[in-house]
Amino acid sequence: MNQGINVLSALLITPYLFQRLGEDQYGLVNLGLSVVMLLSILVNYGFHLNGPKRLALLTSEPKQQSILINEVLWTKFVLSLVLIILLLLTVFVFDLFPNYGLILSFSSVILLGEVFFPMFILQGFDRLSLVSTTNVISKLFYLVGIFVFVNTTNDAIWVNFLFGMSSFVVNILLLVFIYRKWQLEFLWVFPSRIWARLKENFQFFLSTIAGHVSVHGGYIILSNFVEDSELGRFALAQRVAFLLRMVPVFLAQSILQHASRLYESDIPSFRKYLSNSFKGGLALTFSIGLFFSITAPWVIRLVGGEFVNYSANILRLLAFIPFMGMLNVANMINILVAERKRILAKATWISAFFMLLIAVLGSYYYGGYGLAVALLVAELFSFGVHYVFLKKIE
């Protein structure tokens, strides 16, 4: 349901933005979003990887749950403030982003939305349905804001700001609801505990950096080798592909809590559950890839408000990224339930360096087409690296 909401909102908003902003500004808006999403990994700091499992194992200890949740939230809040200050300095003092600095600075509010996004809490409590409900409310605020405030190319600065602000407000309200429903305590956290959390989660943080570089880094690399107009056409296809790429991510999140409990109590049942979930996920993501590859021209016409042949061809390739990403889900679950932080960090960093290398080569020689192929190859390579590392310790 959550992914359905995201797809529906994209179908409503993307053609409007593409038509009102034009290829160039639409590409820069997405570039600013990619940069901020890369920075958001510093805010999340890998807590979304091990936080849900730890909460799931503390179901009978509400006091310990409150301590864990407050320490994570305060740590994320401190990191977000530091990042926003640094980002504003790079834009207004050092002028490092001359073409889209203003868009980028307004996009920084997304980082605050990431701080208070309680996904790791709801995962740990097995209440992901609340995410879908609040996602509807957030997207409605965003949709109304876009139609009211974004009418010309000069309004490009408001697109990511409205996205971030709607998430920030709704996430705050959801967090208040969670604290009241589960009778959690609001606690002040000493700097020493924030520092302890930073040290403890450092390996997960490293792996998260590599993972996000693999997802968002390619678009930033492409911006150095193509014109803004081509970047905008690529972004049109990438917007659809990014939503599809979240399918294996959501599947992994939905099975992690139950898998964690089975891993602690019944290994054979854990393996059977993981195997069945993995096979179902492969069938689903391959079907999605086939469907969107065949219907790419109609999807682009629907999403962009007009047919763009270049975007349709890119989508035909990117449509299979969810399937390639799903290949690695079983590996990731095996790593996360056992908290094999070092293996995760090594495997994701090797995968990220490989992705950056082939993304640069592909973008330099073949532009967007080269990047699309590079992203597919990188997903397959990542699966192989994680699989080999896991086999070594079995």
Q: How confident is the model at residue 214 (pLDDT cuts 50, 70, 90)?
A: low
| Average pLDDT over the chain, rounded to an integer | 89
**Rounded Cα gap, residues 48 and 161, in angstroms:** 24
**Rounded Cα gap, residues 172 and 181, in angstroms:** 14
| Cβ burial 88-97 (10 Å sphere, 16+ → b, else e) | eeebeeeeeb
Judged against a pLDDT cut of 80, whether residue 11 lies above it is answered with: no
**What pLDDT does 394 receive?**
67
Copy the structure tokens of residue 161. 């700001």
Q: What residue has token string 């972004």?
A: 235
**Rounded Cα gap, residues 74 and 191, in angstroms:** 9
* 3-state SS assignment for residue 319: coil
Are 105 and 87 in contact by the 8 Å Cβ rule? The answer is: yes
Report the pLDDT averaged over residues 79-108: 92
353 contacts: CB under 8 Å, gap ≥ 6: none
pTM of the model: 0.75
**What pLDDT does 206 receive?**
76
**What pLDDT does 1 receive?**
56
Are 281 and 248 in contact by the 8 Å Cβ rule? The answer is: yes
Out of 63-77, 256-270, 313-327, least confident range: 256-270
Copy the structure tokens of residue 296. 């790419």
Report the pLDDT averaged over residues 361-380: 95
**What pLDDT does 271 receive?**
92
Type of residue numbered 100: Y
Query: How confident is the model over 152-189, as pLDDT tens digits?
Result: 999 999 999 999 999 999 999 999 999 999 999 999 99
Out of 7-11, 255-259, 296-300, least confident range: 7-11
